[in-house]
Amino acid sequence: MPTKNSTYIVLGIILLILTGIGGYFLFQVYQANNTQTTYTSQTTPKIELIPTDSPDEEVETITPSVTTASATTVTPIASVSGKVTPTTTKSITPTKTPTATPTTSSSNLTTYSSAQDNFSVEYSPTRKVYQDTETSLYDSDGELSTDSTGTRYTFYLSTGNFAVHVTSGDLWAWKNVNREFDSDSLIAGQASFRYDITSQTIVDFQSGDKNYTIQCVHNGVTSLKTECEAFISSFEFL
């Protein structure tokens, strides 16, 4: 009889230990699931201005061209000097997802509006939108400035991100000392400067004291290039 009681006691202790271990692992799974819902600097997608073509070579070989207002695709290309670098994103401090509330349009696109930076743009609902701060900006002479900040709206898709960068004064989200705005290529009624390479399309324009850069990372994919043109064309000021 004492032997049988000892066996029950041992089994009871083992059961308590197993129950404790099971409870611990369930708690860890619960915490992990909760943690995944919070965007951090590691989980928030980034978009970088990284033209891959050599600007130094393009200075001598590429000249601006202009399309008419009836063209379905805007294709002006302008010369660029200096080096475009990805440093505009290395010191970015991501913030929460956008404060504006997207709405769905009749064309099955979603409209994103920013009262902060006075614009709206239509994008595919398959994309996720993030807003964060850019701290590495460039003046018109190509000098790096970290005294001011800009805002970046990223329209994330795994195959290629789109973004709207907004800065003020003479600062821009990327380095280019030869911005020449073309009044025949209008974005929301404003003259624009366009830079096309194999993997990206970048369009700069201004309104009031704000500078806007629309950037599409399409990686040369035809469907993304078409989506990019629609994204650019949909841009409007509030």
Give the bridge partners for 155, in sequence order: 129, 162
CA distances from 1 to 4, 6, 15 (A): 5, 9, 21
What burial letters (b/e) apply to 124-162, b meaning 16+ CB within 10 Å? eeebebbbbebbbbbeeebeebeeebbbbbbbbbeebbb
pLDDT at 128: 95
* Sheet of 103-104, strand order: 103-104, 110-114, 119-123, 236-237
pLDDT at 1: 56
pLDDT at 201: 95
- State pLDDT tens for residues 56-97: 333 332 233 333 333 333 333 333 334 333 333 333 333 343
pLDDT at 155: 96
164 alpha-carbon distance from chain centroid: 7
**Regions of the chain short of the pLDDT cut 50:** 32, 34-43, 52-101, 104-106
Q: Exposed, middle or buried, 188 (CB in 10 Å: 0-12/13-18/19+)?
A: middle
Q: Are 112 and 97 in contact (CB under 8 A)?
A: no
